[in-house]
Amino acid sequence: MIIQLKKNIDATTNSKLKEALDGQGIPFYPVSTQLGNYLICTPKGDFDIRRIGQLAGIMDVHRVSGNHKMVSDKWKVDRTIIDFGDGVQIGPNDFAMMAGPCSIESEEQIDATLEQLVKHGVKFMRGGVYKPRTSPYSFRGLGIEGLKLFHQKCSAKGIKIITEVMESSQIEPMLPYVDIFQVGARNSQNFNLLEALGEIDRPVMIKRGISGSIDELLYSAEYVFKSGNEKLLLCERGIRTFEQVYRNTLDLNAVPILKEKSHLPVIVDPSHGIGIRRHVIPMALASVAAGADGLIIEMHQNPEKAATDGQQTLDFSQFDELMRKVGVLRELIH
Ligand code: PEP
Ligand code: MN
């Protein structure tokens, strides 16, 4: 059960309410976010929702069985819209296209990518400055200096930045330069990082773990939400299976399931999802057909020379083709 408290609830009413819940043997967990104050209740047996709804200080009460509470679609009438406050939104009526290199490498690379994004009216540029690499000897990103350059270039063109944060200590220095924090697959269950991201007022996109289940992804989102941040996006990026022919198995079943279970926007990353450049476009289109609220695509002016993930990175003419086909498909299915 989720109890939404009245905005102006006073301390006395609040404690009386908690006493009443105690009296009925209902355990509760207070949650305060950017948008409201809630009591997340986990009653063991049955309870009379009418008796609870009558208590003072309550705006609304929702029966949410199951273990995902705040991210569940069972209590929010409307789907979550991520609003950047300047006319840019992500949500059911605003498909989010995010594209750019796996890693930020140079000023020339940022300039070339931005030109390509502006040409297509794309609002979000991706690019890692902190790269989780399997080998410690691989390129691990340009760090905060790279992010500052990335931000300077993007803000001049009105393009927003999505980039990965790998640990809590990076959040504060990165904050002035980031529009969406990406939690990578390897950090999907780094609960300390998720809680720290819950304490800031900035959208967070959580990628599904490398061997993560759908429920585990939802629990990860629940961690951020219950820590205070409702501005959340989920990302399907492929999971590890027995199949060795491609890099990951893009689980498009996750798209309708996540959208049914939660009110959060679902973004698909077909680049990591299949890991093979020539197959990224069809998988991107399949993601749109499956109901994705957006795509995150790796793109580079010269993928062969990309510092990371070149094998799955589209060149500019392939990105042109993708944009054209996504436009046609969205027209057809909406
Ligand atoms: C990336 O986006 O470049 C990345 C490292 O993604 P993932 O965490 O899904 O592997
Ligand atoms: Mn990558």
**What pLDDT, in 10s, does the model give residues 204-238?**
999 999 999 999 999 999 999 999 999 999 999 99
Decide if pLDDT at 51 tops 90: no
Beta carbon of 247 within 6 Å of any ligand 1 atom: no
Q: What percent of the chain has pLDDT over 90?
A: 93
**Choice from 269, 280, 299 to test ligand 1 binding pocket (greatest atom count within 8 A of CB):** 269
pLDDT tens digits for range 133-174: 999 999 999 999 999 999 999 999 999 999 999 999 999 999
What average pLDDT score do residues 94-121 get?
98
49 Cα–ligand 2 center, Å: 47
- Residue 85's pLDDT band (cuts 50, 70, 90): very high
- Ligand nearest, relative to CA of residue 247: 1
Beta carbon of 291 within 6 Å of any ligand 1 atom: no
Decide if pLDDT at 272 tops 90: yes
Beta carbon of 128 within 6 Å of any ligand 1 atom: yes
26 Cα–ligand 1 center, Å: 41
- Ligand nearest, relative to CA of residue 98: 1
The CA-atom distances, in angstroms, between 310 and each of 63, 97, 123, 141, 142 are 47, 20, 23, 15, 17
Instruction: Please name the residue that has the structure tokens 């993928």.
Output: 303
143 Cα–ligand 1 center, Å: 16
**Choice from 189, 207, 247 to test ligand 1 binding pocket (greatest atom count within 8 A of CB):** 207
Q: Which atom of ligand 1 has the smallest separation from the CA of 182?
A: 2
**Helices (DSSP H) in 121-266: which residue ranges?**
143-157, 168-174, 191-198, 214-226, 254-261
- Residue 45's pLDDT band (cuts 50, 70, 90): confident
Beta carbon of 141 within 6 Å of any ligand 1 atom: no
Q: Which atom of ligand 1 has the smallest separation from the CA of 126?
A: 2
Are 291 and 259 spatial neighbours (Cβ–Cβ below 8 Å)?
Answer: yes
> CA-to-CA distance for 129 and 225, rounded, in angstroms?
25
Give the residue among 90, 62, 60 at the shortest CA–CA distance from 235.
90
Are 186 and 238 spatial neighbours (Cβ–Cβ below 8 Å)?
Answer: no
- Ligand nearest, relative to CA of residue 130: 1
- Ligand nearest, relative to CA of residue 268: 1
Are 164 and 184 spatial neighbours (Cβ–Cβ below 8 Å)?
Answer: yes
From 65-69, 79-83, 259-263, 319-323, the region with the lowest mean pLDDT = 65-69
Give the residue among 148, 156, 95 at the shortest CA–CA distance from 292.
95
Structure tokens at 119: 């040409």
